[in-house]
């Protein structure tokens, strides 16, 4: 299933661990600051929430203010997967493949109540929340969510990215 | 009522047909063995040239359990007609209409997906809205509406 990056512990050669930790923390802050303002979203748009996605992307609300305005239509170039709309069981393999094709680091936003929990599609056809298939970083419920809610979600995700560790080397690297 | 329905009612007589007028629409109840020749009559003599839909109704406690419902429209008389034919749970099959209406193919596939009605003569009854490997027919009354059949394994 989904692999989480594992850090290879780098130990300093001599006993200067405090200074080394200070440097790696500063490095994480710097990389986090850079990454949180260059989110390249991949809109996985399946349903009516797309209208709200267009509204939040365009001028009056403008996600470009948060550095998250340039949609990449290839998962290879994206680092934020926005799942916008209902995901059915028939579509689930496609969503999973798109997620697997994205390069690290990657984050996932569940946009709208259907992607969050299945919403009112409590039936055999809809996936009851995309977190049953792929890990989700931020949930934006609402049917559809107001643009303010989406912007709030993006800002919460930015806070999360800024607080994250950003290892240069992972086990997968 | 459109002029074509009067002559049509005269042709569809008892005991083979039970003709009623429901909310301004002609409803014809018939046995599945009569289906193909009736539709051929509708198409060739009464110009019902547009096949609108085929679906089914699941009357679960009753027998026969299913009713297959057809809708036809005439683009020259501007009138609709509805055919209803009962099928049993043991043998839920009717004749396919693909020989008369090409568009019947996809609609019969959907009806086959959702209700498990078999259509004799339809060359392609693969799932159209469901996926390969789906067990059961979700619009039947005895299908649990929350019975998921996921294609991707769930996390944890």
Give the span between the Cα atoms of B110 and B106, in whole angstroms.
Answer: 6
Tokens of A20: 């080394």
Q: What is the pLDDT of residues A112-144, one digit of tens each?
A: 999 999 889 999 999 999 999 999 999 999 899
pLDDT of residue A166: 81
Residues 6 or more apart from B83 whose CB is under 8 A from it? B28, B29, B30, B35, B38, B39, B69, B70, B71, B72
pLDDT at A162 over 60: yes
| pLDDT tens digits in sequence order for chain B, 156 residues long | 578 888 888 888 878 888 988 888 899 999 999 999 999 999 998 889 999 999 999 999 988 999 999 999 999 888 999 999 999 999 999 999 999 999 999 999 999 999 999 999 999 899 999 998 899 999 999 999 888 899 998 987
Q: What are the residue ranges spanned by the domains of chain B?
A: 5-120
> With a CB-CB cutoff of 8 Å, which residues 89-118 of chain B face chain A?
none
pLDDT of residue A59: 84
Q: Chain-wide mean pLDDT for chain A?
A: 85
pLDDT of residue A19: 74
CB < 8 Å to A131, chain B: 155
Give B109 to chain A, closest Cα distance, Å: 17
Give A63 to chain B, closest Cα distance, Å: 31
Contact by Cβ (8 Å): A111, A49: yes
Between the ranges A11-25, A78-92, A157-171, where is the mean pLDDT highest? A78-92
CB < 8 Å to A135, chain B: 155
pLDDT of residue A64: 86
pLDDT of residue B31: 92
Would you give the distance in Å from CA A70 to the centre of its chain? 14
Give A95 to chain B, closest Cα distance, Å: 10
pLDDT of residue B66: 94
Candidates A1, A93, A95, A124, partner chain B, best to mutate (most B CBs within 10 A):
A124
Give the span between the Cα atoms of A71 and A84, in whole angstroms.
Answer: 13
Q: What are the residue ranges spanned by the domains of chain A?
A: 41-163
pLDDT of residue A65: 87
Whether B155 and A124 lie within 8 Å, measured CB to CB:
no
Give the span between the Cα atoms of A142 and A148, in whole angstroms.
Answer: 11
Q: What mean pLDDT is predicted for residues A158-168?
A: 86
Whether B131 and A89 lie within 8 Å, measured CB to CB:
yes
Question: Does any CB of chain A come closer than 8 Å to the CB of residue B138?
Answer: yes
Kindly indicate whether the ipTM for this predicted assembly is greater than 0.90, answering yes or no.
no
pLDDT of residue A6: 63
Is residue A19 classed as helix, strand or coil in its secondary structure?
A: helix
Helix or strand holding residue A35 (H, E) = helix A17-36
**A4-8, A131-135, A156-160: segment of lowest average pLDDT:** A4-8
Residues 6 or more apart from B151 whose CB is under 8 A from it? A89, A90, A92, A93, B131, B133
pLDDT at A21 over 80: no
pLDDT of residue B22: 87
Is residue A90 classed as helix, strand or coil in its secondary structure?
A: coil
Query: Which residue among B138, B143, B152 sits closest to A92, beta carbon to beta carbon?
Result: B152
Give the span between the Cα atoms of A34 and A32, in whole angstroms.
Answer: 5
pLDDT of residue B3: 80
* Fold of domain B5-120: Beta Polymerase; domain 2 (3.30.460)
Q: What is the pLDDT of residues A28-43, one digit of tens each?
A: 888 889 888 988 999 9
Give the span between the Cα atoms of B8 and B21, in whole angstroms.
Answer: 12
pLDDT of residue A1: 53
In words, the CATH class of domain A41-163 is alpha beta
pLDDT at A14 over 60: no
Query: Cα dist. B11→A173, B4, B38, B43 in Å?
Result: 78, 11, 10, 14
Give the span between the Cα atoms of A16 and B128, in whole angstroms.
Answer: 65
Q: What is the pLDDT of residues A67-93, one digit of tens each?
A: 887 888 899 999 999 999 999 999 999
């Amino acid at each position: 299933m989904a692999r989480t990056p594992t850090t290879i512990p780098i130990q300093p050669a001599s006993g200067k661990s405090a200074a080394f930790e200070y440097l790696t923390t500063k490095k994480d802050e710097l990389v986090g600051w850079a990454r949180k303002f260059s989110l390249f979203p991949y809109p996985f748009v399946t349903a009516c929430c797309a209208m709200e996605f267009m509204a939040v992307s365009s001028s009056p609300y403008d996600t470009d203010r948060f550095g998250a305005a340039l949609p990449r239509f290839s998962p290879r170039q994206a680092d934020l997967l926005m799942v916008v709309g209902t995901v059915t069981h028939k579509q689930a393999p496609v969503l999973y493949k798109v997620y697997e094709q994205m390069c690290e680091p990657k984050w996932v936003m569940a946009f709208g109540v259907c992607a969050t929990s299945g919403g009112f599609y409590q039936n055999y056809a809809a996936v009851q929340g995309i977190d049953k298939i792929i890990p989700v970083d931020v949930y934006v419920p609402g049917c559809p969510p107001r643009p303010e809610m989406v912007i709030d979600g993006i800002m919460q995700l930015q806070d999360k990215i800024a607080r994250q560790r950003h290892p240069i080397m992972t086990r997968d690297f | 009522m459109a002029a074509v329905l009067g002559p049509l009612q005269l042709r569809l007589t008892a005991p083979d047909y039970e003709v009623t007028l429901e909310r301004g629409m002609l409803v014809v109840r018939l046995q599945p063995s009569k289906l193909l020749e009736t539709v051929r009559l509708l198409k060739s003599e009464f110009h019902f040239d547009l096949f609108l839909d085929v679906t089914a109704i699941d009357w679960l406690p009753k027998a026969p359990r299913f009713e297959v419902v057809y809708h036809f429209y005439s683009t020259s008389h501007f009138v609709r007609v509805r055919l209803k034919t009962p099928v049993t749970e043991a043998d839920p099959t009717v004749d396919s209409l693909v020989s008369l209406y090409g568009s019947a193919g996809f609609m019969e596939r959907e009806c086959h997906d959702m209700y498990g009605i078999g259509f004799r003569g339809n060359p392609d009854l693969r799932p159209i809205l469901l996926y390969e490997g789906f067990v059961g027919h979700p619009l039947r009354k005895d299908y649990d509406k929350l019975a998921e059949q996921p294609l991707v394994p769930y996390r944890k």
